[in-house]
Structure 1
Amino acid sequence: MALMFPRLAHNFARNGNYPTDEITLERTLQALTPATSGRMRICDPCAGEGVALAEAAHFLGRDQVQAFAVEYDRERADHAHGLLDRVLHSDLFDTLISRQSFGLLWLNPPYGDLVADHSGASQYQGSGRRRLEKAFYQRCLPLLQYGGVMVLIVPHYVLDDELTGWLSNHFADLRVYGAADSTFKQVVIFGIRVRRQDLVRASTSQVRVHLQAIGAGQQQPEEIPAIWPWEPYLVPSVAGELEHFYRISLEPEQFAAEILRLRGLWPDFNLHFGQAGLQPRAPVRELSRWHLALALAAGAISGVVRSKSGRVLVVKGDTYKEKVRKTEFTEDEKGNVSEVRTLTDRFIPIIRAWEMTTSSVNHGQVLIISSSPASIDEAPAAEELVATSLFNPGQIVMTAAISHLVETGQLNPASVLKRHLAGDWGELCDDDRASNQLALTHGDRLFSSYDIDAGDESRLWIITEADRSYTTLLLPSDY
């Protein structure tokens, strides 16, 4: 199938779409092989007319493949609707798509510099030249499952030090070839997404140097072979259900179609809001202090509470579960001692109240009531951390998973953060420690790994970006 009429190719390029030529597409597909069993799910987040992904789906076995795509241009999206299973007419940065949901990521992103008013500019993280190709790579990488295959098609000059570092840190078995048609100076990059700890450092360094040389124009990439000489890349079967794949905002036409489908904006208004004006019934008897405490801890009573004395509090209650460890030693008749460890769930209520009484000396303070016997030491001030550190950590942030562990009292990250800033990199191999020491001199990224005891979690990572703008605390599963 021809990708497009030659007379239209120039216009498509001018509109920001650089389609893959037919010969390169055919040769690229020869590098792929389908999973031996199960369904496959593939995605093209910049699909154009959807032809490339449709060809990939047919090559892998159309009955066993679900093809998903995102396309910004309306006409191209309408055309892709007829070829693929699900297509979103949307800006990729205005979508919500489940992470690690696809076994094949076909990424031929828009080419050019990232302007300040682009929707992805606020989400871009990097210190090198701000390019659209790099912004789309960052957005799309989490969509690919571990063990999944990436096909990245970009101009060779985009392969700067930053992008090549990302690629070599995220993918194994990287191969790069020049496109059969050199009109757009494209290279085709193949790779298998793996976790960082599974990468072989020696081969990673060699691949990175090779990619940098191609990006700088010092080496010419070999043209993609007509017959694939290597073992093909296996597109794995789906690892889980696709929970989210939709556009966040609605176009006017989509909004109008939805209203028409529902036969009005609020077809069930009375059902949902007809009872809103009724006063709730009072309890049979006055709540005791025990009932009040239980309701507060369960979150049943929240919001602004006023006492008879005039005190005003903004109250929020919550309950979390913690594991209580118990170790017992038993001795048998022969004197052998055995150890038995048990974990028991313990529910901890915690109530927070924001003092809003204007006449109170504690106005604006947050009061915390909890039954947990454990006390959490306050983290040192940012100024204290910076004063005692080997480098500037920038803004210190944490992922949602780490924040949950801190809020529930399972983790106090102050000690490991001090170790990271002092150059104690934790449980790392000698090569990673040496890389961190070089990074202190040359300004590269710093990485630490620490053993922790926080519920089911046993490992915490800390990463300081190369430009020292952010230091992030995260779990390995967040990466």
Structure 2
Amino acid sequence: MALMFQRIARNFARNGYFPTDEASLERVLQALSPASAGRMRVLDPCAGEGAAIAELAHHLGRERVQACGVEYHAERAASMDGLVDRGLQGDLMDTVISPRSMGCLWLNPPYGDLLADHAGYESYQGKGRRRLEKLFYQRTVGTLQYGGVMVLIVPDYALDKELTGWLVNHFTELRVFRAAVDDFQQVVILGRRVRRREAQRSQEAKAMRAQLLRVGSKEVIPEVIPAVWPFEPYAVPAAQGELRHFYRVSLDAEQLADEVGKLQGLWPEAGSVFGKTGQAPRPPVRRLSSWHLALSLAAGAISGVVTAPNGRCLVVKGNTHKDKVAKTEFTEREDGSITETRVLTDRFVPVIRAWEMTPDSPHCGQLLTITSTPAANDGEPEEDDQTADAEAGDAPEPLNRVAERAARPDPRRFDVGRVVMTRAVNELVERGEVSPMALLRRHVTGDWGDVPEEDRQSNEQALIHGDRLLSSYRIRESLTVWIITEADRSATTLLLPEDY
């Protein structure tokens, strides 16, 4: 049963929802026939008071049908419970239903745009316009077994490119009709579910999708569902196995009270839960170090007040997020040309925020950020948000030292722009023979390495006049790495002397 929003109050009927009209219901039932043998199982995930699912079960043979329903509204769900074999009161997004367990899916979902505060907003997997009809379709189509029959009742304007593409990929023998009572611009779509690889790729399937799109754009008005079904009925197949999962994930207060009453407490045997509380906790393999403290803090596992030996007091809270790291690879072709490949990889970035609370400190009240990502600014002025850079792989320092280092001025003397490296240096980095971050840190702070004295003076003048900068670092006796920053500071290159 479809729920409507207040902004389209003209569609309201019967206390905030409206069921499938009786004429359409009767005509759709003519299009369905029971399986020749076996017990069938049917589902209405928006069951309302249960009228449609009850009529469907009666039409197929009540003694051979297991009727299942889900309804959000508590009063309507209470009415539904007396008409179905398995009923759930709650949000469909909060339920678990066994996949491919239903022989027939009666889907008359809520209509309207999907709002950001809806429970299923984040789980919506489409790329088009977010609609409640499409969300409920995504959530329930997997419960229908292959060969099962779907009855979908939606407004015609919900048939966009995305929804029609799903229908053609998931169903065959599709037919679309206008509802017998045309108060809400509804269409009734019937189809039989198939595996996606078995979906028709013929001109017939393309024509069906084009027809659905024309109905959605109101270029074509489909025929009213016939009073006497003129086609071969859709046979509802027998259920395959038992319904292993059909429950709500969370409990409301009444349901929790009912469960507590059934179990005479939260647990039948309290000793199974609390029997080990008197035992001493198992000690760690080794004594926790400052490294463990920093790691736990960065992971967000602990937070609180940290006091340094010099009396500095910080209120800290850690967190970790995922970031993209750009890496440029250079490949030399046979003709001598160089191709550049940009690779993005995921890395986890710890971020520790510290609130300065040292009494009588001139920085009292300031927020410090300690992170492995440079220039993390949170929108505050640079002088109020300092960042400590830490090379990946280095052993973390004690928290008080890291916090003090974060408060110091930025030691960088110039911008490096885009950082690239030659193919030879890249191979050394991958083998772990060169640490580019350590060399870059020395370069940007004015540690020019092993260059001659005249080159040192040239670099100092280049910082004033904007010329090119060159650093040279001897890694070992037979290996030296150069770093060159262009005069406009747009790029910095790591290379070997023989690459120059």
TM bracket, shorter-chain basis:
0.5 to 0.7
Any stretches of 5+ residues in structure 2 without a counterpart?
Answer: 1-8, 300-324, 332-338, 347-500
Structure 1 partner of 2:111: 111
Distance in 1 between residues matched to 2:294 and 2:93, nearest whole Å: 47
Structure 2 partner of 1:180: 180
Q: TM-score, normalised by structure 2?
A: 0.55
Distance in 2 between residues matched to 1:144 and 1:214, nearest whole Å: 25
Structure 2 residue 233 is the aligned partner of structure 1 residue 232: yes
Distance in 1 between residues matched to 2:340 and 2:173, nearest whole Å: 38
Q: 1:264 to 1:357 in 2, by over 3 A?
A: closer
Distance in 2 between residues matched to 1:255 and 1:110, nearest whole Å: 28
Distance in 2 between residues matched to 1:168 and 1:389, nearest whole Å: 42
Q: 2:66·2:85 contact (CA, 8 Å) conserved in 1?
A: yes
Q: 1:382 to 1:243 in 2, by over 3 A?
A: farther
Structure 2 partner of 1:296: none
Write the mapping of 1:80-95 to structure 2, written as runs, cut at 5 A: 80-95=80-95
Q: 1:16·1:111 contact (CA, 8 Å) conserved in 2?
A: no
Distance in 2 between residues matched to 1:118 and 1:394, nearest whole Å: 32
Q: 1:59 to 1:304 in 2, by over 3 A?
A: farther
Q: How big is the shift at 1:394? A: 12
Q: Deviations over 1:167-223 (max 9, x none)?
A: 111110100011110011111100111112112212211100000001100111111
Distance in 2 between residues matched to 1:393 and 1:306, nearest whole Å: 37
Structure 2 residue 266 is the aligned partner of structure 1 residue 265: yes
Structure 2 residue 151 is the aligned partner of structure 1 residue 151: yes
Q: How big is the shift at 1:262? A: 2.3
Q: 1:16 to 1:383 in 2, by over 3 A?
A: farther
Q: 1:32·1:235 contact (CA, 8 Å) conserved in 2?
A: yes
Write the mapping of 1:310-325 to structure 2, written as runs, cut at 5 A: none
Distance in 1 between residues matched to 2:294 and 2:112, nearest whole Å: 59
Q: Deviations over 1:423-469 (max 9, x none)?
A: xxxxxxxxxxxxxxxxxxxxxxxxxxxxxxxxxxxxxxxxxxxxxxx
Structure 2 residue 13 is the aligned partner of structure 1 residue 13: yes
Structure 1 partner of 2:62: 62
Q: 2:88·2:247 contact (CA, 8 Å) conserved in 1?
A: yes
Q: 1:102 to 1:359 in 2, by over 3 A?
A: closer
Q: 2:11·2:184 contact (CA, 8 Å) conserved in 1?
A: no
Q: 1:180·1:223 contact (CA, 8 Å) conserved in 2?
A: yes
Q: How big is the shift at 1:16? A: 5.0
Q: Deviations over 1:106-152 (max 9, x none)?
A: 00001111111011111112222211111111111111111111000
| One-letter code aligned to 2:176 | V
Q: How big is the shift at 1:264? A: 2.8
Structure 1 partner of 2:42: 42
Write the mapping of 1:298-313 to structure 2, written as runs, cut at 5 A: 306=285
Q: Deviations over 1:5-61 (max 9, x none)?
A: xxxx98963755231111110110011111111111110000011110100001001
Q: 1:18·1:184 contact (CA, 8 Å) conserved in 2?
A: no
| One-letter code aligned to 1:214 | V
Structure 1 partner of 2:133: 133
Percent identical pairs in the alignment equals 56
Q: Deviations over 1:346-378 (max 9, x none)?
A: xxxxxxxxxx76899xx99xxxxxxxxxxxxxx
Q: What SS class does the counterpart of residue 232 from structure 2 fall into?
A: coil
Q: How big is the shift at 1:84? A: 0.7
Distance in 2 between residues matched to 1:151 and 1:98, nearest whole Å: 19
Distance in 2 between residues matched to 1:195 and 1:136, nearest whole Å: 20
Q: 2:326·2:345 contact (CA, 8 Å) conserved in 1?
A: no
Structure 2 partner of 1:124: 124
Q: 1:24 to 1:389 in 2, by over 3 A?
A: farther
Q: 1:382 to 1:139 in 2, by over 3 A?
A: farther
| One-letter code aligned to 2:216 | G
Q: 1:11 to 1:194 in 2, by over 3 A?
A: closer
Q: 1:114 to 1:15 in 2, by over 3 A?
A: farther
Structure 2 partner of 1:352: none
Distance in 1 between residues matched to 2:243 and 2:340, nearest whole Å: 43
Q: 1:67 to 1:112 in 2, by over 3 A?
A: same
CA RMSD of aligned residues (A): 3.5
Structure 1 partner of 2:216: 215
Q: 1:29·1:59 contact (CA, 8 Å) conserved in 2?
A: yes
Q: What SS class does the counterpart of residue 189 from structure 1 fall into?
A: strand
Q: 1:263 to 1:11 in 2, by over 3 A?
A: farther
Distance in 2 between residues matched to 1:68 and 1:165, nearest whole Å: 28
Show structure 1 runs of 4+ deviating over 2 A.
9-18, 260-267, 270-280, 356-360, 381-385, 387-390, 392-395
Q: How big is the shift at 1:274? A: 2.8
Q: Deviations over 1:69-103 (max 9, x none)?
A: 10000111000011111110000001111111101
Structure 1 partner of 2:397: none
| One-letter code aligned to 2:275 | G
Higher Cα Rg: structure 1 or 2? 2
Q: What SS class does the counterpart of residue 223 from structure 2 fall into?
A: coil
Distance in 2 between residues matched to 1:389 and 1:119, nearest whole Å: 44
Distance in 1 between residues matched to 2:211 and 2:195, nearest whole Å: 21
Distance in 1 between residues matched to 2:56 and 2:344, nearest whole Å: 44
Any stretches of 5+ residues in structure 1 without a counterpart?
Answer: 1-8, 281-302, 313-355, 365-380, 396-479
Q: TM-score, normalised by structure 1?
A: 0.57
Q: What SS class does the counterpart of residue 136 from structure 1 fall into?
A: helix
Distance in 1 between residues matched to 2:243 and 2:84, nearest whole Å: 16
Structure 2 residue 215 is the aligned partner of structure 1 residue 253: no
